[in-house]
Structure 1
Amino acid sequence: MTETVKAVCYKSKTLSNGEHPLMIRICKDGKKKYQSLGLSIKAEQWDFKTNQPKAKCPNRDRIILLINEKINEIQKVALDKRIAGKDFTATTLIESTTNSTANKTLGEYYLTYIQNLKAEKRIRYAGMFEVSYSSFIKFNKHLDIPFSDIDVAWLKRYELWMKEQNLSTSTISTRIRHLRAVFNLAIMEHSIKNDCYPFHSYKISKLNRQTTKRALSKQDIMKVMQYQGKSTMERLAIDVFIFSYLNAGINFIDIAKLKHSNIIENQLIYNREKTKKLISIPLQAETMDIIAKYKDNESPYIFPILSPFHQTEIQIANRLHKVLAKVNKYLKEIGEKLELPIPLTTYVARHSYATVLKRAGVSTSIISESLGHSSERVTQIYLDSFDNEQINDAMKNLL
């Protein structure tokens, strides 16, 4: 029996924006199979008699082109199978013209990325992607769109929209980098072509250059190290900060998960949570003093942040979120007492470590390796404010 291949406006499903998905419907042997085109349309914009968008439908020519391309592709596969004498069904016809990931919308891919992170037990990182996903949904109303809809103009509109909400350039940069990661996954799985990748032209690095200074001078670091905590929580906050600064800017999540088994022959050895890179750092006397201070024979952890009570990934993620908020609260209060030029947080220790080493003449490649960065380009973001300061100081010598 000859198959029929048509484009239909699938009214059985209504998206959050009131539109309906456009589908390719294949009928063969009395059975129907649908395949999404990754497009959606309002019912009043579709001619249900001709199965085409109406004359006044936005992007009508592009939609017709995509429909015809897909129908021709399916009909060609059917013809090839028929010539080869192979039997096929509506289902196998679709399977022959797509892979398991093709034609996924941006939103579907985004959710897949989040599920992958959760499967890797990167719960906190997955939570960050969920926040950015919600932000894009709020901006665009929905993400049931093809990747090709995201171009430079779209990204600039989103950037402007974020700035109008008084969000920091760091937050904007993070959320757009999450979107780029989803694009990279789709390209890696050959679901989209490289020519629809907007980040060739839209440079996230320009946002990073706008990031406010987050590093302290060595003199200010010494003020923090010499501060005597007035309470248990203040002392913990200071110790976490010092531990990070003296151990290659190790971030809070990695600090919290450190166990005494990570110490081997006076070396701190661990896999960075974010990048999974293996980090090995020689322990200094000040670091050993901090480790000894919190030694608890009933807990394998170096710091009293996590305990054997925290078993599940959700328990761990919730505990880390709660303690990090407290630590940063106390650090900011301490920074104000010390009249530091920037708000004090755990992340300042990481930036300060990189900047102090750079001032001392250490190469960017060595700093990058010790930080566990994926590339020197990421490290340079940490050092941009330092470079600008040096240029400003140098210019004073002109006159």
Structure 2
Amino acid sequence: MATVKVKFRPSTVKGKAGTIYYQLCHHRKNLQITTRIHLFPEQWDAERGKVVFLSDNEGFLRTYQHQIENDISLLNRIILQLGERPEEYQLSDIVAMFRSRGAQISVLSYLERQITRLQADRKLGTARNYKRTFNSFSLFLGGRDLSFALFNEGLILEYSDYLKERKVVRNTISFYMRNLRSVYNKAVREQIIEQSFPFRNVYTGVDRTCKRAVGEDIIIRLQKLDLLFSPSLSLTRDLFVFSYCTRGMAFVDMAYLRKQNIINGMISYIRHKTGQRLTIRIEPCIKSIIKKYEKKNRDCVYVFPVLYSENPEEAFKQYQTALGYYNRKLKRLGELVGSEMPLSSYTSRHTWATMARNYNVPISVISAGMGHTSEKTTQIYLASLENSVIDRANKEILAKLNAYISK
């Protein structure tokens, strides 16, 4: 049976780090597998065949040790599998299987390939999310790539701590972790790495956010604003009110809404986020906004003058630019109507959900109306239900007890 040992090859250049390699022996023949692990002589214990952890960079050295242990474990499994076969195997067979199992496939390059594939499939939103995660994870790694053999729980915990130290909020940390987990699971399905559940001890949920809903009075004030002096503010107001009237239609869905989505007094569209088809009856307040832009946008396939290109890449760039502009204008509108809470693209959606709850609409109905795939998501939206509403409900519940005590 073949054997494998970990060896250190010092650099021939003074002051430069040496290289770790794996020496395979079988039938008196030797073969070396060179790794991307580079250490200085004082960082390697040749007698024990292990990395020496120095206090100044212990974390990174431990990561190297994890990779070595994972590589050796993989090589030994390959040797056992080949030994069970009736035919004789060669050292080159071990190396071929080792490389095919993905021990040398790097995480960042794999993530880049996924981004490219998503862009080719026109899944531009997910590609953008992966790109944001790629940028963050790359900064954590100091620009260095690493093999999937290093992608373990210890590394993910270090990345989580790195984000916390930089005051990154929990929902953003969860965003990065969920994206990385998705890429990792894809690598597992492709048998690049064995599943070791490295994300089990990091946060991948969604925190309930602070209050994002405004009262009906703010919606009415917005509707009454005279904005003839600013067409951009007028369009922003109309989109915000349209979103509220259409059960919190997301900005991306309003931007991509086509005239062909309006049929027989109904709006029928597919949510970009979930792929779920939603149908909304056109109420008078919705109809008036649509009619306002019929002439202005007569030569365009879209309902609103937000996007102009039908090319997917170009349209997505226009959407990203428009979203930032929309949020900036919403802040100005919030100031004009005296809203205590800054308005954002999420506010209209949260407001519709909160108003529906205040009108005693069942959560199941609210969830279906908003196109949520789970009522848990709706609960997050309603977590910031006005304290005054809850206080009034509590007062009614305790009315008899209060009356007794006040006697």
TM-score strictly above 0.5: yes
Shift, 1:299, TM fit = 1.3
Give, in whole Å, the separation in 1 of the partners of 2:191 and 2:366.
35
Give, in whole Å, the separation in 2 of the partners of 1:150 and 1:277.
38
**3-state DSSP of counterpart to 2:84:** helix
Aligned length: 380
Distance 1:363 1:106, change over 3 A: farther
TM value normalised by structure 2: 0.76
Task: Tell me which residue corresponds to 2:84.
Answer: 80
Task: Tell me which residue corresponds to 2:123.
Answer: 122
Give, in whole Å, the separation in 1 of the partners of 2:277 and 2:10.
52
Shift, 1:27, TM fit = 8.8
Residue correspondence of structure 1 range 289-304 to structure 2 within 5 A: 289-295=288-294, 296-304=297-305
Give, in whole Å, the separation in 2 of the partners of 1:326 and 1:194.
43
**3-state DSSP of counterpart to 1:268:** strand
Task: Tell me which residue corresponds to 2:58.
Answer: none
- Does 2:226 match 1:228? yes
Task: Tell me which residue corresponds to 2:175.
Answer: 174
Is the 8 Å Cα contact of residues 173 and 204 (structure 1) preserved in structure 2? yes
Shift, 1:62, TM fit = 5.1
Give, in whole Å, the separation in 1 of the partners of 2:67 and 2:349.
49
Q: Which moved more, 1:176-185 or 1:39-48?
A: 39-48
Task: Tell me which residue corresponds to 1:15.
Answer: none
Residue-by-residue CA offset, 1:218-247 (whole Å, 9 max, x unaligned): 232222233232311111101111121122
Shift, 1:338, TM fit = 0.8
Residue-by-residue CA offset, 1:24-62 (whole Å, 9 max, x unaligned): 5769999979597xx845343665978933455754875
Distance 1:68 1:126, change over 3 A: closer
**3-state DSSP of counterpart to 1:298:** coil
What is the alpha-carbon root mean square deviation over aligned residues? 3.9
Give, in whole Å, the separation in 1 of the partners of 2:50 and 2:324.
52
Task: Tell me which residue corresponds to 1:274.
Answer: 273
Shift, 1:351, TM fit = 1.5
Identify which of 33, 50, 53 aligns with 2:50.
53
Q: Which moved more, 1:365-374 or 1:152-161?
A: 152-161
Shift, 1:99, TM fit = 6.0
Task: Tell me which residue corresponds to 1:217.
Answer: 215
Distance 1:109 1:61, change over 3 A: closer
Give, in whole Å, the separation in 1 of the partners of 2:254 and 2:338.
26
Distance 1:149 1:386, change over 3 A: same
Shift, 1:380, TM fit = 2.1
Shift, 1:311, TM fit = 2.4
Is the 8 Å Cα contact of residues 307 and 318 (structure 2) preserved in structure 1? yes
Letter in 1 for 2:146: D
Task: Tell me which residue corresponds to 1:42.
Answer: 39
Letter in 2 for 1:53: K
Residue-by-residue CA offset, 1:239-271 (whole Å, 9 max, x unaligned): 111121122222112211111111222222222
Give, in whole Å, the separation in 2 of the partners of 1:98 and 1:277.
41
TM value normalised by structure 1: 0.78
Distance 1:55 1:21, change over 3 A: closer
Distance 1:186 1:379, change over 3 A: farther
Is the 8 Å Cα contact of residues 153 and 198 (structure 2) preserved in structure 1? no
Shift, 1:159, TM fit = 4.3
Shift, 1:337, TM fit = 1.3
Distance 1:170 1:228, change over 3 A: farther
Q: Provide structure 1 residue ranges, at least 5 long, that are not aligned to the other structure.
A: 13-17
Distance 1:55 1:34, change over 3 A: closer
Shift, 1:184, TM fit = 4.2
**3-state DSSP of counterpart to 2:339:** coil
Shift, 1:336, TM fit = 0.8
Give, in whole Å, the separation in 2 of the partners of 1:274 and 1:21.
46
